[in-house]
Amino acid sequence: MIMGAGVAGTVAGIALKQAGYDPVVYEAYDASAGLAHGVYLTVAVNGLDALRAVDAHHPVLAAGFPTNSIDFFSGTGRRLGAIPLGPVLSDGTTTNTIRRADLYGGLYDEAVRRGVPIEHGKRMTSARELPGGGVRVEFADGTHAEGDLLVGADGIHSATRTAIDPAAPGPRYTGLGNVGGFAQVDDVAALGARYAMIWGKRCFFGYTVSPDGEVWWFANPPSRAERPRTELGAMTDAQVRAELAELLSVDRGPATRIVAGTPHELRITNQYDLPTVPRWHSRSMVVIGDAAHAVSPASGQGASLAAEDAVTLAHCLREVPGVPAALEEYERRRRARVERVVAWGASMSSAKQAGPVARAVRDMVLPLVFRRSGSPEAMARMSWLFDHHVAPVPVG
Ligand SMILES: Cc1cc2nc3c(=O)[nH]c(=O)nc-3n(C[C@H](O)[C@H](O)[C@H](O)COP(=O)(O)OP(=O)(O)OC[C@H]3O[C@@H](n4cnc5c(N)ncnc54)[C@H](O)[C@@H]3O)c2cc1C
């Protein structure tokens, strides 16, 4: 039983099916939440490698476009430097940027095409292990299900995480909000396969230009205190735009024109991460993806790690006899890596919230850092992140 039809859930469905099991995916919403929320994301080369292990990388490569580096600017318009978004794989594949709806929809369709059943309107409310083995879950609609294994792919507010450990920590607010969109702006130059990111005086802003000329952007309005979800939900489109205009108008660059050229409604959400979850599994329940370790969106790695988790879990279940021992092995293979990525993502997030003094230091130091980060030595230092490889899942 897999809870959640996001990236982790659909890829786990595909991987477990390929490994010879009979997974069923249960999703709380009528359609996957990913189809309704969010704008776009990057799938890094390590995420594409994991999807390739189950031959599910095609939807990303077909609907996405290559984005292989980021150019950074200060709010005054000074170019601070560039960093690569991972290496180019031997077949020419690079990190891709893709609409969230296309990523989730593509993986969802692939799971269905491979015969993975996905049941909607099934919000898990509780789960308990059965004395004779296996797990029973209860759904909000009054129904229940039983299976040998519960895979919690139910996102950052995971109910599976709490079923495994009622004292499990919840998400941590990163000090930033997030808002983004797709804009038509005539005078923004094409960037090739690059992002431009501006460390503005009041707000971090990033964008890229798709091959058909649409500007894909995001902004991170900072707020020391977490803004209540009800407050953010009640903001009108006009209020969001007014807030962004106030934050972005003090910087040079196209940010305010890009926001003004966005035809659809804008919504601010809080950004969270989830650094250390002490218990990832019990005897027959396990969490994967954001349910186990949400990385800050600043890392651009959440979807990629979710795919790595899902495929690694299938390997462990195939290779290690007995579910409890397989879950042990899954944690052994994954924990150190994902916690290193979470820590790296958190450091990127905090750098976005600098005050005036820290900003001045940052703008002086960053060019030196970036000059070094494009070097072969710097690329080699990041190989732990991007060169991670998962072997193809054997067909069971
Ligand atoms: C603004 C923003 C930008 C981001 N940018 C990037 C990026 O550029 N690159 C990147 O790799 N990552 C990015 N991420 C992170 C990425 O979106 C997540 O890490 C990734 O989607 C995790 O997938 P998941 O399947 O674990 O969780 P989710 O995508 O959250 O899926 C969980 C699913 O479980 C369902 N569910 C929840 N509770 C229950 C329940 N009780 N019962 C049944 N079903 C349930 C939900 O409806 C949902 O469909 C970003 C995140 C945000 C918020």
DSSP per-residue codes, 56-84? --HHHHHH-EE--EEEEEETTS-EEEEEE
Kindly give the residue spans of alpha helices, DSSP state H, lying in the chain: 7-18, 33-36, 45-52, 58-63, 100-113, 159-164, 229-234, 237-248, 255-260, 302-319, 323-351, 356-373, 376-381, 383-386
Cβ atoms of 316 and 330 closer than 8 Å: yes
Q: How far is the CA of 154 from the centre of ligand 1 (A)?
A: 8
Confidence of residue 298 (pLDDT cuts 50, 70, 90): confident
- Work out the burial of residue 233: count CB atoms within 10 Å of its CB; fewer than 13 is exposed, 13-18 middle, 19 or more buried: exposed
Q: Are strands 194-199 and 204-209 parallel, antiparallel or unpaired?
A: antiparallel
pLDDT at res. 344: 86
* pLDDT at residue 114 tops 70: yes
Give the contacts of 177 (CB within 8 A, at least 6 positions apart).
Answer: 220, 221, 222, 223, 227, 232, 268, 269, 270, 271
Q: How far is the CA of 357 from the centre of ligand 1 (A)?
A: 35
Q: Which atom of ligand 1 is nearest to the CA of 154?
A: 34
In terms of pLDDT, which residue wins out, 333 or 297? 333
- Work out the burial of residue 264: count CB atoms within 10 Å of its CB; fewer than 13 is exposed, 13-18 middle, 19 or more buried: exposed
pLDDT at res. 350: 63
For residues 292-304, average pLDDT: 90
N-terminal to C-terminal alpha carbon distance within the chain: 18
For residues 334-344, average pLDDT: 93
Confidence of residue 89 (pLDDT cuts 50, 70, 90): confident
For residues 22-33, average pLDDT: 86
- Any idea of the CA torsion for 151, 12, 343, 364, to the nearest 10 degrees? -150
Please name which of 291, 206, 355 lies closest in space to residue 28, comparing C-alpha atoms. Answer: 291
pLDDT at res. 250: 97
For residues 178-201, average pLDDT: 92
Supply the residue whose CA is at minimum distance from atom 47 of ligand 1. Answer: 33
Supply the residue whose CA is at minimum distance from atom 29 of ligand 1. Answer: 6
Please name which of 81, 71, 69 lies closest in space to residue 362, comparing C-alpha atoms. Answer: 81
Mean per-residue pLDDT of the chain: 92
Order of all β-strands in the sheet with 194-199: 79-84, 69-74, 194-199, 204-209, 215-220, 172-183, 269-273
Cβ atoms of 175 and 224 closer than 8 Å: yes
218-222, 243-247, 285-289, 369-373: lowest mean pLDDT where? 369-373
Supply the residue whose CA is at minimum distance from atom 37 of ligand 1. Answer: 154
Q: What is the 3-state secondary structure (H, E, C) of 107-150?
A: HHHHHHHCCCCEECCCCEEEEEECCCCCEEEEECCCCEEEECCE
Q: Which atom of ligand 1 is nearest to the CA of 44?
A: 11
In terms of pLDDT, which residue wins out, 367 or 63? 63
CA–CA separation, 2 vs 24, rounded Å? 6
Ligand 1 contacts (CB < 6 A) are 3-9, 26-29, 32-34, 38, 41-42, 122-124, 153-155, 159, 178, 289-291, 297, 300-304, 306
Q: Which atom of ligand 1 is nearest to the CA of 294?
A: 19
Q: Which atom of ligand 1 is nearest to the CA of 10?
A: 25
Please give the share of the chain, as a percent, with pLDDT higher than 90: 78
Most informative mutation of 27, 118, 385 for ligand 1 (most atoms within 8 A of CB)? 27
CA–CA separation, 29 vs 119, rounded Å? 9
pLDDT at res. 36: 52
pLDDT at res. 81: 87
pLDDT at res. 37: 62
pLDDT at res. 368: 66
Q: Which atom of ligand 1 is nearest to the CA of 288?
A: 26
CA–CA separation, 5 vs 85, rounded Å? 27
Rg (CA), the chain: 21
pLDDT at res. 87: 87
pLDDT at res. 311: 98
In terms of pLDDT, which residue wins out, 368 or 260? 260
State pLDDT tens for residues 115-162.
999 999 999 999 999 998 999 999 999 999 999 999 999 999 999 999
pLDDT at res. 45: 96
* pLDDT at residue 28 tops 70: yes
pLDDT at res. 248: 98
Cβ atoms of 193 and 68 closer than 8 Å: yes
Please name which of 187, 188, 194, 215 lies closest in space to residue 81, comparing C-alpha atoms. Answer: 194
CA-to-CA dists, residue 74 to 31, 61, 71, 249, 358, angstroms: 40, 32, 10, 14, 13
Supply the residue whose CA is at minimum distance from atom 38 of ligand 1. Answer: 154
Q: Which atom of ligand 1 is nearest to the CA of 272?
A: 53
State pLDDT tens for residues 377-395.
666 778 889 999 999 999 9
pLDDT at res. 303: 97
* pLDDT at residue 203 tops 60: yes
Supply the residue whose CA is at minimum distance from atom 3 of ligand 1. Answer: 297
pLDDT at res. 67: 95
* pLDDT at residue 355 tops 70: no
Q: How far is the CA of 78 from the centre of ligand 1 (A)?
A: 35
* pLDDT at residue 254 tops 70: yes
The pair phi, psi for residue 72, each rounded to 5°, is -105, 140
